[in-house]
Amino acid sequence: MKVYLKILFINFGRSLFLRIAVAVLAAFIITTANIAHADIYKYVDEEGVLHLTNVPTDHKVKYVLILKEKRILFNANLDVTKYDELITKAANKFKLDSALIKAVIKAESNFNHRAVSRVGAQGLMQLMPSTASALNVDDSFHPEKNIEGGARYLRYLINTYKGDLTLALAAYNAGEKAVSKYNYNIPPYRETQNYVKRVLSFYKSYSNL
């Protein structure tokens, strides 16, 4: 969904006015879309009019990114039990806690089996095409195949990091090279650090159900 605002600045309070406009646009995106990209871009035209949008489509204009958010997922009618049978099957096969697989799915796709990230990760557990191929997943949008592939990869990472779940999750998000680059610590990427925290939080919640 594309959202667009055109604003004519007055001479005073420009900075405050911009912050308010950005906040209004972001709030509108969040409350009107099931899945929305909340990155907000701006440009000022030759007449001094500020343009704000979450989808920069005019290739003749140089946009400036002023608010970045990887992805906002919102679905008031979400059924978090829809894939429980498939999750349990994969958990048993790869000796994982089903609550952990469910937590990763929640963080990765919010249970949307058609989800596609900006970098091309696909499906419930957001498998990159190269990763899916290595895991023998021929259709990442097929829930059962995606969950089995993601669970297999998660088990591999947990084994690789000798049971250290935080490192396994960091590698799931940022890649094994990123973890090794930072001496086998969680990489200092805000996205990855937040990802690990979110998955662990979801894991705790689902474990208590």
Burial 66-81 (b: 16+ CB within 10 A, else e): ebeeeeebeeeeeeee
Which of 46, 69, 108, 191 is catalytic? The answer is: 108
In the annotation, is 148 catalytic?
no
CA 48 to chain centre: 35
3: Cβ contacts below 8 Å, ≥ 6 apart: 25, 28, 29, 32, 53, 54, 55
Residue written as tokens 């429980």?
A: 84
Nearest partner of 148 among 106, 112, 203, 105, judged by Cα = 105
Question: Which ranges of 95-175 does DSSP label H, i.e. alpha helix?
Answer: 98-109, 129-134, 143-160, 165-174
What is d(CA 140, CA 58) in angstroms, rounded to the nearest whole number?
A: 32
Cα atoms found within 13 Å of the Cα of residue 160, Cβ hemisphere only: 19
**CB distance 121 to 127 below 8 Å:** yes
Residues belonging to the active site:
108
